[in-house]
Every structure is written in structure tokens, then in C-alpha cells.
């Protein structure tokens, strides 16, 4: 019985890894759109977004089967519960990456705009997704806490971008709409970082039984 249960847990980990890879890919497309946007990107992003949604449904089904048929306890139960929480954040990561790609074409009138902090935010968020899912599969508490700490880096980039864009709005009112679009993109990347932190916190819960919002 335990062997069968472990096999199902392994399947859960595989599906989470697949979903995590899709999240990483869709963030990469969002990053690419900032420097090399084309209409094909929209199709690619929608395709990966659909894969993420499908993965969410698949993982929900696996988790429900594990809960109803195996009646897990202790750490096994925490691991399954954490997975169900994580996929909600992962699905939202996909949605926000799609939103970024939809906004980018509105920046076409400003081809020389340079906000490297936004691109750095994208790279940091992509890395956080990979490490958060890897931490879950490996049940690596140290890696999960590294992800949580890295959110401060994303937040710092966002603060710099926000300050710079407020300055643009104040001194160049005609560029206000452009600045707001960029600010929205930066905010989406900041939220992606928050979702990665949420994932890492559920990894911590699955290992320790402690979640910061449940204390």
C-alpha cells in the first residue's frame, strides 16, 4: 500500500515540475516581449497559459485521489495540502505573465525606453519559480527560505521602477499613459515574486508543519 501511495506522490511531484516549467517558460516569454515583441508571442503565451490551466486541473485530481483513497496523515498530508495551495499561485503567475504580454504592444511608441530594472525583475521571478518548485519536490527547507529572501530583491527593483516612473509622470505629463503601462508591468512582475514567495511558504509548511499565516 505504501509503495502505491509513494508512486502517486511521485506522480504529483512530476506534474508539479511540469507546471513549474510552464510557469518558467511563460515568464521567459514575458521577458522576451519587453525587448523583442511580435504577434507570435501572444499565441505562444496563450498556449503555455492553457497548459498551466490543464496542469492545475490534473494536480487537483491527483491530490483529491490521494486524500480520499489513501487518507494520508502528518507530513504526507501537509505535502498534499501544500501542493493544492501552490497550484493556485502558479496559475496566477501564468495569468499575470499573459497580462504583461498584452500590455507590451502599447509601449511601441517608445522603442528607446530603457528600464533595465523591469527586465531584472523578470529574470529574478523566473529563477524564483524554478527554485520554489524544486524546493517542494526535494522538500528542501533551505532552498525555500532562499526564495523567500529573494523576494526582497524583486521588491527593491519595483521600488526603483516606481520612483522613476512617478518622476516621468511628474515631469513629462504627455508620457503619463506610457509610464502607467510600464508601472503595471512592473507591478505584475512584483506580484509574480509574491506568488513565488507564497509557494515557498507552503513548502516550508509541508516540511515543518508551520505556516506564518497560521501561527
Calpha distance 213→175 (Å, rounded): 41
DSSP 73: -
What pLDDT does residue 4 have?
Answer: 77
Q: Give me 204's grid cell.
A: 516550508
Whole-angstrom CA distances from 58 to 22, 42, 62 are 14, 24, 6
Q: 49: domain CATH number?
A: 1.20.58.220
Q: What is the mean pLDDT of residues 168-176?
A: 88
Q: Are 101 and 49 a contacting pair, CB within 8 Å?
A: no
Q: Give me 72's grid cell.
A: 494520508
For residue 184, pLDDT beyond 60: yes
Calpha distance 15→93 (Å, rounded): 16
What pLDDT does residue 113 have?
Answer: 57
Whole-angstrom CA distances from 114 to 35, 99, 110, 167 are 10, 20, 9, 14
Q: What is the mean pLDDT of the chain?
A: 89
Angle at 198 between CA 203 and CA 193, to 5 degrees: 125
Angle at 58 between CA 56 and CA 61, to 5 degrees: 110
- Of all residues in the chain, the percent with pLDDT exceeding 70 is 94
Which of 17, 138, 9 is CA-nearest to residue 65? 9
Give how many domains the chain has, as a whole number: 1
Calpha distance 147→125 (Å, rounded): 10
For residue 77, pLDDT beyond 80: yes
The more confident residue out of 204 and 2 is 204
What is the tens place of the pLDDT at every residue in 18-47? 999 999 999 999 988 888 878 889 999 999
What pLDDT does residue 91 have?
Answer: 97
Domain that holds residue 142: 2-214
Calpha distance 63→95 (Å, rounded): 22
Amino acid at each position: 500500500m505504501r509503495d502505491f501511495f509513494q508512486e502517486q506522490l511521485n506522480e504529483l511531484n512530476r506534474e508539479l515540475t511540469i507546471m513549474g516549467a510552464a510557469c518558467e517558460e511563460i515568464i521567459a516569454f514575458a521577458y522576451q516581449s519587453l525587448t523583442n515583441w511580435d504577434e507570435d508571442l501572444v499565441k505562444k503565451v496563450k498556449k503555455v497559459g492553457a497548459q498551466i490551466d490543464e496542469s492545475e486541473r490534473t494536480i487537483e485530481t491527483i491530490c483529491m485521489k490521494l486524500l480520499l483513497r489513501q487518507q494520508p496523515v502528518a507530513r504526507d498530508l501537509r505535502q498534499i495540502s501544500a501542493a493544492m495551495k501552490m497550484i493556485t499561485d502558479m496559475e496566477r503567475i501564468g495569468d499575470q505573465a499573459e497580462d504583461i504580454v498584452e500590455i507590451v504592444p502599447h509601449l511601441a511608441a517608445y522603442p528607446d525606453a530603457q528600464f533595465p530594472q523591469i527586465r531584472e525583475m523578470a529574470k529574478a521571478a523566473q529563477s524564483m519559480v524554478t527554485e520554489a518548485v524544486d524546493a517542494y519536490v526535494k522538500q528542501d527547507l533551505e532552498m525555500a527560505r532562499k526564495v523567500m529572501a529573494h523576494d526582497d530583491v524583486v521588491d527593491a527593483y519595483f521600488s526603483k521602477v516606481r520612483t522613476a516612473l512617478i518622476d516621468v509622470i511628474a515631469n513629462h505629463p504627455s508620457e503619463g499613459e506610457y509610464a502607467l503601462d510600464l508601472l503595471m508591468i512592473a507591478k505584475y512582475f512584483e506580484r509574480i515574486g509574491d506568488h513565488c514567495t507564497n509557494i515557498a511558504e507552503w513548502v516550508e509548511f509541508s516540511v515543518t508543519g508551520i505556516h506564518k499565516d497560521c501561527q
